[in-house]
Chain A
Amino acid sequence: MNAPLIITDRPHRFHGGVHPAENKTQSNGTAIEALPLPSVLVLPLRMHLGAPAEPRVSVGMTVRKGDVLADADGAISAAVHAPTSGRITAIEERIIAHESGLSAPCIVLEADGEDVWRERHGYPDWRQRDTAELIQRLRDCGLAGLGGAGFPTDVKYRNTHHAIDTLIINAAECEPYITADDRLMRERATEILEGAGIAARLVGAKTIRLGIEDNKPEALAAMTAAAEALALSLRVTVVPTKYPSGGEKQLIQLITGREVPAGGLPSDLGIICQNVGTLAAIRAAVIEDEPLIRRVTTVTGAAADRPGNYEVLIGTPIETLLNHAGVHLKKADRVIMGGPMMGFALPDITAPLSKTTNCLLVPAKNELPPSQIDNPCIRCGQCEQVCPAGLLPQQLFWAAKSRDLDSAELHSLGDCIECGACAWVCPSHIPLVHYYRYAKGEIRHEREEQIKSERARARFEARQARLEKEQQEKEARRAARAKAAAEAQARKQAEAGEASSDPVQAALERARAKRAERQNDVSDAGQPSIADLEKALELAAAKVKKANERLVAAEQEAPDTVPALQKAISKLEEKHRQAQQALDAARDQGNAS
């Protein structure tokens, strides 16, 4: 208790950044208001980054508030829960909140109006519990980052590659218009900091640092007061209001002066970064056993009569929320999900709110500048001066426009965070981010194609090798057959000559010589191989068979030769038996060794 609880650090700087009109006052003056229970909720199976959840309910089932509707499927995924009690009426494709008006599998829940909770087992004693148990709780509660990307929260805490020493609370909220985090901090600072305490314990972080823009003094005061009340030591960095200071990489640079390595994660620096909304959700999940079924969403813009922040159940139709906030759709120019810098225009407002919907912006007709036809790029370089990633946006644009993907990669396209600062300053009104997304998509596509063709090549080569091997084996068999045939022929000739004296003698001599040679070979090799023995056995068996055939023939044509032949057969059979024994012995030996 020697060091003061609250330490204030000076912010570092990041390259570039812009100052668009803040437009925060329209929505940050009123308290967070809970939206009345909607009658129908639509829950997309994928509201997070990663694999869609796997449904666990069927149509017609009744569920209570907080029951699992769909399980996380795979390592990077998040479960979906019932935001209220009711009946499952459909599991089908519904339009979701997406730029292209995409449909995706959703679970449709009809509320019964009772709002009855399932049994809950909170961990008020979380300090005594095992970290693994707490992390599992985050996964069971379907937590995903509420700041925007919706990365499954538990995955962040499972990362054990690097020791984490710092938890950064991202409270910058740099997008114009959005005030959800601002209001949350003003009203629920204690919950956020309790969540931060849990998060810090989960990763073993010793320091908790808060990064907040200087346009939120009330929120900052609430946070420091809550930290003092909780006796939680907090290091505060008040950063100048400049977009995009709330970008994870930029905030880390502002607070620590260090850069997240390209292609790396904040954990490479021993840092974990978490948005204030997510921290409050972590607290609710751990202490209250409340899954992620609600969030705070800003509704703002001149077309809304009652702009402000609303606490909504996940799955509430966007239309319902807009109606509640008094939005005049006739006055609205468009409905933007997210902020004006990075949000996207919704093609259909019947889509449901998801875990990542932090703002619905409904500007009136002349509130935002109208879309303009773009002029050619004059390389004025203003984009370069504002790029927070230190890129050359104009060069990236030329590369993307001419589909020169190599050049795009040479100019580090992958490091673009798509913040839109370049497009904001562009005097030629070029939709630069659009070009970058296109080029990124093309690069991704090309990589996939490359992997595909790589696989196809490997398959082809394997097939070629297999065919070749088969051919070789065939060839070998044919050669063996030909050799056997030739030997048989030679033998036949030899045996045919047995009748006449001299050739018989000669043949016998040859055979003897051959036998001696073979024995020599065998003794040379020391131990005959199993293959040799098998061959010998085969040969012996063939000889016996041939001799028997000849015996049958002789019994009819030349009965006088029968006894000689019988003698020969018994000799051959003896040889066959010996060959069999030798082979068996060799095999036993082989098995034994």
Chain B
Amino acid sequence: MINTTPTAPHTQRPTSVTRVMALVLAALIPGWVVLVISFSWGYLINPLLACATALVTEAALLKARGRPVLFFLKDLSALVTAVLLALALPPLSPWWMTVLGTALALIFAKHLFGGLGNNPFNPAMVAYALLLVSLPLYMTTRWANPDQWLSLTDTLSIIFAGGVPIDAATAATPLDVYKLNIANQTANEVLRAPIFGSFVAEGWDIANLAFLIGGGVLIWQRIISWHIPVALLGALMLMSLLFGSDADLRVPLSLHLLGGATMLGAFFIATDPVSAATSNRGKLMYGAGIGVLIYLIRTWGNYPDAVAFAVLLMNFAAPLIDHYSRPRVYGHRKAVKGYKRDD
């Protein structure tokens, strides 16, 4: 009758890592769909390509490391990394860039550190940063133009056949355009560019709102806690109000929030629990740090968007934050901070 003596608790909430990852993927769908509709097929083809690469790479690495392949493949974590990376890359990136990026993420940022749960840095952002510093041209000139619907065959030829997209098919990102043009134009003049559309930034704004909704679902489902996104967005807003309230001088807040990768970063990338700070208070510090860094890099840095570098820099800081943000334990007068107990 009894052949095992399992330990307490004997009951469990019906949940699993697979469910967590599947919900993250599901919550990405609204934003993903908006991106495909706004920027055509590139955002469909590249993520699928990344997924295929991820599955193959993950399986090969698990095999090489002597780990159960199917057991870990079905946790879906590789797919989350792949989709996040592909959604962050320019949609018209050549196929080899997507494949290379995905493989880099899984090999160097994940499995070399010991696989799921052991990576100190966000794998998708490591790959993104590597590609950005190695292939700046591809990373800046392959953004799709929301006003130009590219046919499936054209997209396929650009991605797979080494085709160079015609100028009309591409466009710089709204953050880039604004930052570049505000130097010698007024805000009204800058915003006349078609890329800003009727709301904040054509395509980008709706996609950001869709990611915001997806993130809300994750918080509601308790897959992520509210701390990181709220602190991140709060800090970004505060920085923008402090330093960039004049739209004729700096990128306005609306564009910061809805014009780049902000919502994807706030709800799906910064919240990667493995590489983030741990406690609730730590998550607030960590999220706020990312928000501040995003603003600093976007405003005074050379890169068009800043989510990847901001996240990676705070990944470095996460262990330190953990040591100084422990919560107060029941029955203790104050929290134990730092590396030594003082009692």
Interface residues of A (CB under 8 A from B): 14-15, 18, 20-21, 99, 176, 249, 253, 259-264, 329-330, 332, 334-336, 338, 340-347, 361, 363, 368-369, 371-373, 375-382, 384-385, 388-392, 394-395, 409-412, 415, 418, 420, 423-429, 431, 433-434
Choose from A259, A361, A375 the contact partner of B17 (Cβ within 8 Å).
A375
- Separation of A378 and B21 alpha carbons in the complex (Å): 11
- Separation of A99 and B5 alpha carbons in the complex (Å): 8
Contact A330 B1 (CB under 8 A): yes
For B328, list chain A residues within 8 Å (CB). 390
Chain B, 195-252, CB within 8 A of any chain A CB: 222-223, 225
Of chain B, the residue at the smallest CB distance from A376 is B117
Contact B13 A425 (CB under 8 A): yes
Known: A376-B117, A424-B9. A384 touches B280 (CB 8 A): yes
Of chain B, the residue at the smallest CB distance from A330 is B1
Q: Is B7 an interface residue when CB atoms closer than 8 A count as contact?
A: yes
Known: A395-B322, A434-B7. A369 touches B14 (CB 8 A): yes
- Separation of A176 and B279 alpha carbons in the complex (Å): 29
For B4, list chain A residues within 8 Å (CB). 334, 345, 371
For A378, list chain B residues within 8 Å (CB). 17, 20, 77, 116-117, 273-274
Q: Is B19 an interface residue when CB atoms closer than 8 A count as contact?
A: yes
Choose from A249, A347, A381, A431 the contact partner of B7 (Cβ within 8 Å).
A431
- Separation of A343 and B6 alpha carbons in the complex (Å): 10
Contact B326 A392 (CB under 8 A): yes
Chain A to chain B contacts (Cβ below 8 Å), 19 pairs: A260-B330, A334-B5, A336-B10, A347-B2, A376-B115, A378-B116, A379-B276, A379-B278, A381-B225, A382-B222, A384-B280, A394-B278, A409-B341, A411-B326, A412-B329, A420-B8, A428-B17, A433-B7, A434-B7
Choose from A329, A412, A429 the contact partner of B12 (Cβ within 8 Å).
A429
**In the complex, given contacts A384-B327, A412-B332, what are 11 additional A-B residue pairs having Cβ atoms less than 8 angstroms apart?**
A330-B1, A334-B4, A336-B10, A341-B11, A375-B16, A379-B117, A379-B274, A380-B20, A390-B328, A409-B341, A412-B336
For A330, list chain B residues within 8 Å (CB). 1
Which of B6, B13, B16 gathers most chain A CB within 10 Å?
A: B13
Contact A334 B11 (CB under 8 A): no
Contact A389 B274 (CB under 8 A): no
Known: A249-B330, A384-B279. A427 touches B1 (CB 8 A): no
Contact A249 B331 (CB under 8 A): yes
For A427, list chain B residues within 8 Å (CB). 15-17, 19-20
Known: A369-B14, A376-B117, A410-B341. A260 touches B331 (CB 8 A): yes
Give min CB distance, B154 to chain A, whole Å.
40
- Separation of A14 and B339 alpha carbons in the complex (Å): 27
- Separation of A418 and B8 alpha carbons in the complex (Å): 9
Contact A368 B11 (CB under 8 A): yes
Which of A260, A363, A382 gathers most chain B CB within 10 Å?
A: A382
- Separation of A20 and B12 alpha carbons in the complex (Å): 8
Known: A380-B20, A394-B278. A259 touches B8 (CB 8 A): no
Contact A415 B329 (CB under 8 A): yes
- Separation of A273 and B228 alpha carbons in the complex (Å): 40
Choose from B7, B16, B75 the contact partner of A344 (Cβ within 8 Å).
B7
Q: Is B71 an interface residue when CB atoms closer than 8 A count as contact?
A: yes
- Separation of A346 and B14 alpha carbons in the complex (Å): 25
**7 A-B pairs with the lowest CB-CB distances in the bound complex, closest first:** A376-B117, A420-B9, A262-B331, A340-B11, A379-B273, A340-B10, A412-B329
For A371, list chain B residues within 8 Å (CB). 4, 6
Contact B1 A343 (CB under 8 A): no
Of chain A, the residue at the smallest CB distance from B114 is A376
Choose from B10, B274, B327 the contact partner of A343 (Cβ within 8 Å).
B10
For A433, list chain B residues within 8 Å (CB). 7-9
Give min CB distance, A349 to chain B, whole Å.
8
Contact B2 A261 (CB under 8 A): no
Contact B225 A385 (CB under 8 A): yes
- Separation of A14 and B278 alpha carbons in the complex (Å): 20
For A262, list chain B residues within 8 Å (CB). 329-332
For B327, list chain A residues within 8 Å (CB). 384, 390-392
